[in-house]
A and B are shown apart, each in its own frame.
Chain A
Amino acid sequence: MSAQILHQFYACLAPWLALSLLLLGRNPFLSRLRLFGSLLLAFFLLRIPLGGWSLFSWFRTLEMNPSFTLTGLLCLALCQRLSGQMIFRAEDWRAAWIVGAIGSLLLYPMGLGLTPIDPYSWGWGPAVSIVTAAFATLLLIRGNRFGIILILPLLGSLLNLQESVNFWDALIDPFYGGVSLIAVILIVIQSFRKCGPSV
């Protein structure tokens, strides 16, 4: 399989997983029909041609490099939904959102020209992968399961599964960054509410 086809195939995984999750909904009673039906329906919906190109292709135009972190989290969410078991605990999800929020706040404003410093250029060197590995190790030693997801960008980058060769793209993308920022804001609001004075 040529590298280009492999990259195209990988780029289709995230939208397929995300749409499958949406179609599964929050209904706790999952039949096998509903499960496979949702996966198949998501696949065929993304194959619908629009302007001569499938939705998969339009997604690839927008985001050719979904991060391995996002793809891993979507896989995990789907596995949790299918098995009905809580694989990630609240603190694991919290770590995922905090890493995504910090990463996106560091990367996007400066990467898009806010300052003369460009953190995105660090992604072509070893710095970002070393920090990621160190953080993953720290999380794993503390027993936080998000550390396992943080291994995926290292693995994906090593296997050259993405079109991009910049490690930032393996670690974070605008979707994961955006959702993480919203999640962190919600966590902060919730914690303020908990700490607030009782009436």
Chain B
Amino acid sequence: MSIPARLLLALVAGLLCWGVIRNVSPLKTGGFVVEQTGRIDEKPFFKNELINPEQGLPMVHVASLAQMPDGIMAAVWYGGTAECQPDVKIYFSQQEPGAAWTAPRVIMTRERAERDLRRPVKAIGNALLLANTDGSLRLLFVTIAMGKWSGSQLNSCLSNDGGLTWTRAERLTLSPFFNFSELVRNRAVPLVGGGWCVPIYQEFLGKFPELLWLKEQQGEQGHRGQLLYRKSRIAGGCSSFQPALIPLNTSRALVFLRDYTDNRKIFISRSDDGGIFWKKPMPTKLPNPDSGISGLKLSDGKLLLAYNNSTLSRDNLTIAVSDDQGETWEKLVTLEKESGSTFSYPFLSRSPDGLIDLAYTRKGKEIAVTSFNEAWIAETCASLSKIKSEAKHP
């Protein structure tokens, strides 16, 4: 190459680089919206119901909830013969305030995912709903290209009519090695200035927690445009995953992690810079039988956690509170317990009116939702303190 040609090409490289940099996604990470506080002056409230009492599927699993701005609660989960099977579908149900859950409706199938993504899909799986402030619903769901969960990818579609119809699904590229394997499960946290921080995790060579940062980019004439996204890592390795993210304020947050080691403890990690850097995950005193957990912050600053209180099985579902940001825990109540059964994958969500909803997989065949308020938590805490005090000073 002649010298002028080399210089010209170098100039072209520089100009293209400048263009690429100008095109870099404007999505910023950090800045959590702290969850709505509840009303402690209310009467204690507690209710338990099934979303899908007569669905009759051999297996249902991984429920997630999202409350729309009009107060309607929406839920999604997947069901079929078994995990990772081609007949698995994603179901949707909704509940208007004071009404019953609507009959489950299929919103995503393997065949539809194949059509939308224009490539073979072996099965579909975990789904997560995000309720945008403009009333639209964003669905994130897992498709499996090959193998099992390690061969999965994350996809997304949008509904502008409360879940009736959904846009064509698009794939998110989140991993460098054949885009294997990103999964979603726990509640997303809204961000200051719009957007979401979604806890995700990888299950390919290692199992480790990550965060997906999402923002709907407004297109022309107010229509939704491109979905902006990027991800960051909480921890590497092969020891903990399925992060449950709890923001303490706009910049401080902690995650509780499912344990994949012989420690059999729930792990905790903290961030002081809006979720960009995380401290090394450390075990808490709470047990974990390699199962999912969920948590949120209460209005008085206490933390609420739903988990399986066992190192061996998922035969119980328990909630505990911590008033020292996860250092120590007080077991509040065992919601379910039955030897040989499973109560798993809790999903805690809070409505703007302060009601806390806990969705979970009940015996592998039902999706249950337990609803309670902070007054009920305060009452239960008070009764526990009374029992403890009486035991100390009979």
Closest-by-CB residue of A relative to B17 is A133
Residues of B within 8 A of A112 (CB): 175-177, 202, 204-206
| Interchain CB contact under 8 A, B20 and A167 | yes
Identify B230's interface contact among A61, A121, A140, CB under 8 A.
Answer: A121
Q: Determine the distance from Cα of A164 to Cα of B177 in the docked complex, in whole angstroms.
A: 12
Q: Is A94 an interface residue (CB 8 A)?
A: no
For B241, the closest partner residue in chain A by CB is A113
Give 1 or 0 for each of A102-121: 1 = CB within 8 Å of chain B CB.
Answer: 00000110111111111011
Chain B, residue nearest A142 (CB)? B6
> Which of A15-23, A72-80, A154-162, A179-187 contacts its partner?
A154-162
A174 and B21 within 8 A (CB): no
**Stretch from A31-39, A40-48, A51-59, A191-199 at the B interface:** A51-59
Partner of A140 from the list B9, B121, B170, B235 (CB cut-off 8 Å) is B9
Query: Closest residue to B16 on the A side, CB-wise?
Result: A154
Once the chains bind, are A61 and B232 in contact (CB under 8 Å)? no
> CA A60 – CA B120 in complex, angstroms?
9
Q: Are A169 and B176 in contact (CB under 8 A)?
A: yes
A129 at the B interface (CB under 8 A): yes
Q: Which of B206-234 contact A (CB under 8 A)?
A: 206, 208, 210, 229-233
Known interface pairs A61-B120, A133-B16; A126-B24 also in contact (CB < 8 Å) = yes
User: B104 near A: Cβ within 8 Å?
Assistant: no
Question: Contact mask B162-180 → A, CB, 8 Å, 1/0?
Answer: 0000001011010111110
How far does the Cβ of A44 sit from chain B's closest Cβ, in whole Å? 20
Give, as a whole number of angstroms, the nearest-CB distance from A134 to chain B: 8
Q: Are A53 and B120 in contact (CB under 8 A)?
A: yes
The complex places the Cα of A112 from the Cα of B202 at a distance, in Å, of: 8
State which residues 52-109 of A face B: CB under 8 Å.
52-53, 57-58, 60-65, 107-108
Known: A58-B120, A64-B179, A113-B238. A154 touches B17 (CB 8 A): yes
Q: Are B119 and A64 in contact (CB under 8 A)?
A: yes
- Interchain CB contact under 8 A, A63 and B23: no
- CA of A140 to CA of B119, assembled, Å: 39
Q: How far is the CB of A153 from chain B (nearest CB, A)?
A: 9
Contacts of A126 on B, CB cut-off 8 Å? 20-21, 24
Once the chains are docked, how many angstroms separate the CA of A168 from the CA of B278? 24
Query: Which residues from B are CB-within-8-Å of A108?
Result: 176-177
Name A8's closest neighbour in chain B (CB-CB). B118
Report, as a range, how many residues of chain B touch the other chain: 35 or more
Chain A CB within 8 A of B389 CB:
no
Whole-angstrom distance between the Cβ of B308 and the nearest chain A Cβ: 25
Q: Which residues B44-76 have CB closer than 8 A to chain A?
A: none
- Tell me if A111 and B118 are in contact (CB < 8 A): no
User: How far in angstroms is the closest Cβ of chain A from B306?
Assistant: 27
Number of residue pairs A-B, CB distance < 8 angstroms: 152
Q: Is the CB of A124 within 8 A of B179?
A: no
Say yes or no for B339: interface residue by CB 8 A criterion: no
Q: Using Cβ atoms and an 8 Å threshold, which residues of chain B touch A167?
A: 20
Residues from chain B with Cβ under 8 Å of A110 in the complex: 236
B145 and A61 within 8 A (CB): yes
| Residues of A contacting B238 in the complex (Cβ-Cβ under 8 angstroms) | 113
B237 to A, closest residue via Cβ: A113
Interface pair B13/A133, CB less than 8 Å apart: yes
A150 close to chain B: CB less than 8 A: yes
- Residue in B19, B21, B176, B233 whose beta carbon sits within 8 Å of that of A107 in the complex: B176
Residues of chain A with a CB closer than 8 A to B177's CB: 108, 111-112, 174
Q: Which residues of B contact A117 (CB under 8 A)?
A: 233, 236
Q: Evaluate contact between A151 and B205: CB separation under 8 angstroms.
A: no
Cα(A52)–Cα(B111), bound, Å:
12
CA distance A62 to B144 in the complex (A): 11
27 contacts between A and B (CB under 8 A): A4-B170, A52-B120, A53-B120, A58-B120, A60-B118, A64-B171, A64-B179, A114-B236, A118-B210, A118-B233, A121-B231, A121-B232, A124-B231, A126-B20, A126-B21, A137-B14, A140-B6, A140-B9, A140-B13, A143-B1, A151-B16, A157-B20, A157-B23, A165-B25, A167-B20, A168-B176, A174-B178
Instruction: Please give the residue numbers on chain B whose beta carbons come within 8 Å of chain A beta carbons, in ascending order.
Output: 1, 6-7, 9-10, 12-14, 16-17, 19-21, 23-25, 27, 118-121, 145-146, 168, 170-171, 173, 175-179, 202, 204-206, 208, 210, 229-233, 235-238, 278, 280
